[in-house]
């Protein structure tokens, strides 16, 4: 299973298993760390135990894609945001038996903003009061005013996580036109996190730091994907193909920028796969064969994303003609 497939399972399955208990009380930090360890180990190594070093720090992965992460929910912050819903019920005096019970047993008419729990009170109640302090900046009086009208777990999570400046390369890697597994490799390239020979040599894992493909320069991210003779040959052939098809006229092609970015991400992924095959089998395909494979994929993907219908528009007609040149 690719990184993209494992990321989907982490977000849709693993990240929801503790949601029930996490919406009732703050889970102890030791349990939270164990939960996140399962997420991390499964994402990087398909298992629940630690077998290899992560390529990117987990706190980075838990930021949004625009902020250089993968959008995985931080378990501790997500837990606090879920408990924040209970805090909001008390603020709004929701029509719930639990709220009436809390007011009768603990608050007894006291102001919720200034309330301090007694030392001998219930552990769960003290944690709810602790969460109230974390959420305090989102309230004006008794009203939640941050991000949306009315409290939601998503808004509480955004408050706790804070905002970080977006990265400039976000659109180069993430787009609905790209295959997820291509985007993940592009994301790793932008972080310079792939296990290339320059890194492995520094860690004394491999003897040589020279490029697996050309064996002329040190194998770095910049070399493999931009400076290597093999990579440049692939890019040049694709550039010639697209330029000759456009013939200096790109008017009317509204999706051209998306397609150019998709070609770039696809080239990165294909070169990475070809590099690994070269290392394993000590052989590499000619650039022309690799380019033909990329062109075929691009044309197929474009047809699918543009949902070509009849009668064919000028833009659809262009990409249909382009596929005939593969």
Last residue of a domain, one of 117, 148, 166: 166
Structure tokens of 182? 């291509």
Q: Which domain holds residue 287?
A: 170-324
**Residues in contact with 76: Cβ distance below 8 Å, sequence separation at least 6, in sequence order:** 29, 32, 36
Is 94 in the same domain as 243?
no
Residues 230 and 82 in one domain: no
149 and 282 in a single domain? The answer is no
Residue 174 is predicted with a pLDDT of 94
> 260 pLDDT exceeds 50?
yes
pLDDT > 50? residue 85: yes
* Mean pLDDT for the chain overall: 86
Q: Does one domain contain both 96 and 189? A: no
pLDDT average, residue stretch 176-191: 93
pTM comes to: 0.86
**Do 143 and 194 share a domain, yes or no?**
no
Q: Over the range 236-248, which residues count as b (16 or more CB within 10 Å of their CB) and which as e?
A: ebbeebbeeeeee
* Whether 143 and 205 share a structural domain: no
Q: Are residues 181 and 88 in the same domain?
A: no
Query: How many domains does the chain contain in total?
Result: 2
Q: What is the pLDDT of residue 310?
A: 45
Say if residue 55 is in the same domain as residue 41: yes
1 and 79 fall within a common domain: yes
**């320059």: which residue's tokens?**
198
State the Cα–Cα distance between residues 69 and 174, nearest whole angstrom.
11
Same domain for 207 and 314, yes or no, is yes
For the residues of 67-130, what is the DSSP string, one character each?
GTS--PPPHHHHHHHHHHHHHHHHHHT-S-HHHHHHIIIIITT--TTT----TTS-HHHHHHHH
- Let me know whether 31 and 95 are in one domain: yes
pLDDT tens column, 227-243? 999 999 999 999 888 87
Adjacent-strand bridge partners of 210: 218
Residue 119 — pLDDT band, cuts 50, 70, 90? Answer: confident
Residue 69: pLDDT over 90:
yes
Alpha-carbon distance of 214 to 228, in angstroms, equals 7
Q: Which residue has the higher pLDDT, 320 or 51?
A: 51
Q: Is 238 helix (H, G, I), strand (E, B) or coil?
A: helix
Q: Do 196 and 159 share a domain, yes or no?
A: no
Residue whose token pair is 């051209």:
256
Helix (H) or strand (E) holding 143: strand 143-144
Which of 118, 134, 166 marks a domain boundary? 166
Domain boundary among 106, 135, 166: 166
pLDDT above 70: percentage of residues in the chain: 90
Amino acid 248: pLDDT: 57
Q: Output the pLDDT for position 128.
A: 93
């Amino acid at each position: 299973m690719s990184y993209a497939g494992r990321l989907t399972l982490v977000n849709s399955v693993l990240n929801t298993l503790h949601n029930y208990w996490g919406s009732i009380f703050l889970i102890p930090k030791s349990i939270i760390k164990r939960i996140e360890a399962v997420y991390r180990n499964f994402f990087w190594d398909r298992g629940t135990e630690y077998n290899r070093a992560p390529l990117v720090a987990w706190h980075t992965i838990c930021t949004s894609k625009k902020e250089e992460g993968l959008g995985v929910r931080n378990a501790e912050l997500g837990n606090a945001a879920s408990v924040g819903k209970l805090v909001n019920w008390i603020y709004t005096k929701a029509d719930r038996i639990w709220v009436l019970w809390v007011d009768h047993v603990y608050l007894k008419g006291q102001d919720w903003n200034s309330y301090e729990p007694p030392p001998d009170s219930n552990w769960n109640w003290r944690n709810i009061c602790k969460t109230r302090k974390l959420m305090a900046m989102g309230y004006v009086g008794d009203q939640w005013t941050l991000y949306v009208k009315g409290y939601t777990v998503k808004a509480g999570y955004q408050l706790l996580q804070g905002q970080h400046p977006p990265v400039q390369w976000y659109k180069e890697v993430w787009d609905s036109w790209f295959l997820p597994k291509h985007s993940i490799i592009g994301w790793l390239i932008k972080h310079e996190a792939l296990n290339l020979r320059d890194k492995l040599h520094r860690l004394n894992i491999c003897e040589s730091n020279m490029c697996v493909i050309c064996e002329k320069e040190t194998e770095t991210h910049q070399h493999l994907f931009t400076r290597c003779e093999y990579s440049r040959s692939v890019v040049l052939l694709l550039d010639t193909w697209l330029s000759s098809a456009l013939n200096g006229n790109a008017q009317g092609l509204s999706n051209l920028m998306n397609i150019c970015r998709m070609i770039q991400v696809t080239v990165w992924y294909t070169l990475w796969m070809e590099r690994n095959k070269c290392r394993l089998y000590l052989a590499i395909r000619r650039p022309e064969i690799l380019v033909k494979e990329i062109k075929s994929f691009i044309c197929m993907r474009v047809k699918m994303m543009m949902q070509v219908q009849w009668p064919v528009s000028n833009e659809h007609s262009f990409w249909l003609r382009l596929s005939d040149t593969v």
